[in-house]
Amino acid sequence: MAEATFQKSTIREYFESIVVAVILALFVRTFVFQAFKIPTGSMKPNLLVGDHLLVNKFVFAPTASSLERTLLPMRPIERGDVIVFKFPEEPERDFIKRVIGLPGDTLELKNQTIHINGMPLLEPYAHYLYAPISDLPADSFDLRRKYGPVTVPEGHYFMMGDNRDDSQDSRFWGFLPASYVKGRALFIYWSFDTPDDGSATTSFLGVRWDRLLHQIH
């Protein structure tokens, strides 16, 4: 009888451990971290197609008290953050872009230079496929070079891809509601070169070893 009781206790301990592990994994997946794969070249050259990222879903979570803000690693969204969010036009899809305009900012794009509240924004991360046009017409409708001025509403953000000439971002679909933000991109945990034809490959020759654990700025 004692041996049978011992076996039941051991089985129960294993079962409880598995259940706790599953619950913790689901909690982490739901509330703390999320994996995300770069599907397009809109963030090149900083993020490449085939990069796999870890996204911190906890850092922008609302806090109920000043004590929580002091003790927990949370902070407001800042200009320059690279974040994953629900695409406003298709909320079931996730997008990744960089925060350029904060609530209340007046933003204007003048021939590849972003101006925030009348001041040019230094953007070492921005990449352009085409050179600026010195004599850009005043009535130009090229959103890659001329946009605004617009004022970012409260509770919204203006998002742009680093690959400015090949990015569907706030210039085309408008402001991002804060409630659509999912988290901040942390680092690349895996990166695999994707062939030009889009086909998958399992060869380790395609692994971009130099990009592994690369922190995202």
DSSP percent split of the chain into helix, strand, coil, nearest 5: 25, 30, 45
Q: How many H-runs (helices) and E-runs (strands) does the chain carry?
A: 3, 12
Sign of CA pseudo-dihedral 177, 182, 183, 186? negative
Q: Which of 42, 167, 170, 191 is catalytic?
A: 42
**Given the residues 57, 97, 146, 170, the one annotated as active site:** 97
Cα 168 to Cα 71: distance, rounded to the nearest angstrom:
37
86 a catalytic residue: no
Specify the DSSP element, H or E, that contains 8: helix 2-27
Non-local CB neighbours of 116 within 8 Å, separated by 6+ positions? 79, 100, 101, 105, 106, 107
Rounded CA separation 170/100 (Å): 10
Amino acid (one-letter) located at 191 = S
Beta partners for 215?
187
17 is annotated as an active-site residue: no
Tokens of residue 32, six digits: 């703390």
Q: Are 48 and 41 in contact (CB under 8 A)?
A: yes
Q: How many CB atoms lie within 10 A of CB 189?
A: 14
Q: Which residues are catalytic?
A: 42, 97
